[in-house]
Amino acid sequence: MSRLLTATRKKIVLCHTATRKDLTITPSVWMEGSLLQTAAKQPKAIPDTPKEMDEDPPQHNIKRKTKKGDKTAQSVTVNKRKKQTECFIETEVEENPGASPLKKKRRRKKISDILVSSTPKPAVPADLQNMIAHHFKNERSAIELEELTLPDSCFLQSNDLTHTLSSYLKQVCPKWVKLCKNHTKNNSVLMLILCSSALRALEMIRLITAFKGDCKTLKLFAKHIKVEEQIKWLSKGVIHLGVGTPGRVRNLIDRDGLSLQSVKYVILDWNWRDQKLRRLIDIPEVKQETLKLLETCIIPACKSGPVKLGLF
């Protein structure tokens, strides 16, 4: 019995050693296994954006995939990529040869820039004549433009920028006191002073205190005063001097509230400038109203009667 047990133990040991010898691992196989284990442990690289998936493989990847002797395939792929990039740049840079160049906008000159470069000049009758001709040249015929021109005898002496309003009126109208005494008609005035705004009209009324004396003055502008009230004042009493804006004066004439039969002088406040350095003719609305008043009322009155026109 003991002999049988020792024999079986020997057989088991021999089998065990045989299996160990059969399962011995060579160094090359062991290296391959370790590489596989490390590769399995590392996380797979996932591209951040879908653009990386669509891009062409880099150059070193192409070398790995191609064979050692195959150089033509690598050069073809690289040249293909270069051609694609060149086409993309050409489409970006290419311009339309037939397109016209962009025109630069002209910078409109400001009145302040003009005044800095040149000294202000006093107004002369030619300035008024040129303004009328330039405004109506496309709307009137040559004969009608001649009718709008005034002879020099219709103009008073212009202000040379040295006079105050009172001193200028005394110079151009030395017999003012006598005219005021002889004036007895309603709905009419002896002198009209045209300004660019109601505020300027109020200022001019204060400036003529030394000239007007005992004569009556009426405000002829639209600010806080209705047309009906001005028509009442003109019809009730004798008014010697009217100071206002061209728009309201023309409105009163159209409504027969103001007549030009007794008018002797019409003064345009030409040289004065407001806070924006604009004159009477530089404000579009006031310029339009002034030209309409000149065309329809004042120029015919100057040609047919003793009305004189002055530029202050």
Mean pLDDT for the stretch of residues 53-71:
47
State the chain's mean pLDDT as an integer: 75
Helix axes 125-136 and 284-293, enclosed angle (nearest 10): 100
Cα–Cα nearest to 200, from 278, 115, 141: 278
Distance CA 163, CA 157 (A): 12
Question: E strand or H helix at 22, and its extent?
Answer: helix 2-22
Question: How many of the other CB atoms lie within 10 Å of CB of 159?
Answer: 23
Which residue segments constitute the domains of the chain, with CATH numbers given? 123-311 (3.40.50.300)
pLDDT in tens, 81-95: 444 444 444 444 444
pLDDT in tens, 148-171: 999 989 999 999 888 899 999 999
Backbone dihedral angles phi then psi of residue 93, each to the nearest 5 degrees:
-85, -20
Q: Which of 6-20, 58-72, 90-104, 289-303 has the highest mean pLDDT?
A: 289-303
Choice among 1-10, 68-77, 83-92 with the minimum mean pLDDT: 83-92
pLDDT in tens, 197-214: 999 999 999 999 888 888
Widest pairwise Cα distance in the chain: 175
The reported pLDDT for the residue numbered 122 is: 86
Enter the DSSP assignment of 259: B
Mean pLDDT for the stretch of residues 46-70:
47
